[in-house]
């Protein structure tokens, strides 16, 4: 049985993951409305990953004998000034998620719950990749700005991203 403190932290993380999915879907819709289908695709894949993360944590709680609880999901911003702004927000958001995941890892260590620490380590490692990708894209968009001649090749590149379930059954 998992301790209540860890169950609460993991339930909060489920909410954070589902909020992340909402956030990336709103960003995807914004890019789609601007005609950048590839950027919309990349953000949509990101949303699917976040849903998979939340569902994975949900199942982990069940495996540990805890009851998943669901909270209201805050409505994200739906309009942005530019694609550059979106990817600056992606980077800031991923940094915030890293902080949340690290707090859970610290809590698991403090509670001496090695199973929970082992579980959350996957997310610690995942956040290194998420931040690196977000930093790379934020930098590219800051250099490109709103230059369509440079946006379109990047849009085509981001359109090639495909969702791969990190937790296949």
Domain coordinates of the chain in residue numbers? 4-158
pLDDT > 90? residue 169: no
Count of Cβ atoms closer than 10 Å to residue 95 Cβ: 14
In this structure, whether the domain defined by 4-158 belongs to CATH 1.10.1060.10 is answered with no
- % of the chain with per-residue pLDDT over 70: 100
HEC string of the chain equals CCCHHHHHHHHHHHHHHHHHHHHHHHHHHHHHHCCCHHHHHHHHHHHHHHHHHHHHHHHHHHHCCCCCCCCCCCCCCCCCCCHHHHHHHHHHHHHHHHHHHHHHHHHHHHCCCHHHHHHHHHHHHHHHHHHHHHHHHHHHHHHHCCCHHHHHHHHHHHCCCCCCCCCCC
Question: How much is the pLDDT for 165?
Answer: 95
Q: How is residue 86 written in tokens?
A: 């979106």
Question: Nearest 5 degrees, angle CA 163-CA 121-CA 76?
Answer: 50
Question: Which whole number is the average pLDDT over 61-69?
Answer: 97
- Tens digits of per-residue pLDDT, 137-168? 999 999 998 888 999 999 999 999 999 999 98
What mean pLDDT value characterizes the chain? 97
Q: Tokens 């940094």, residue?
A: 95
Q: Tokens 């600056």, residue?
A: 88
pTM flag (> 0.85)? yes
Q: Which residues of 60-69 are buried (b: 16+ CB within 10 A; e: fewer)?
A: bbeebebebe
């Amino acid at each position: 049985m998992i301790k209540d403190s860890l169950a609460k932290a993991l339930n909060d993380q489920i909410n954070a993951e589902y909020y992340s999915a909402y956030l990336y879907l709103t960003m995807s819709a914004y890019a789609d409305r601007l005609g950048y289908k590839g950027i919309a695709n990349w953000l949509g894949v990101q949303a699917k990953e976040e849903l998979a993360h939340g569902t994975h944590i949900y199942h982990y709680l069940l495996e540990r004998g805890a009851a998943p609880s669901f909270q209201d999901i805050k409505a994200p911003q739906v309009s942005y000034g530019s694609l550059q702004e979106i990817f600056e927000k992606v980077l800031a958001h991923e940094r915030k998620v890293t902080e949340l995941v690290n707090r859970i890892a610290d809590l698991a260590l403090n509670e001496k719950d090695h199973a929970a620490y082992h579980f959350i380590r996957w997310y610690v490692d995942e956040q290194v990749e998420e931040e690196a990708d977000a930093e790379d894209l934020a930098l590219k968009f800051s250099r490109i700005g709103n230059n369509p001649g440079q946006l379109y090749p990047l849009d085509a590149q981001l359109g090639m991203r495909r969702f791969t379930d990190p937790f296949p059954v």
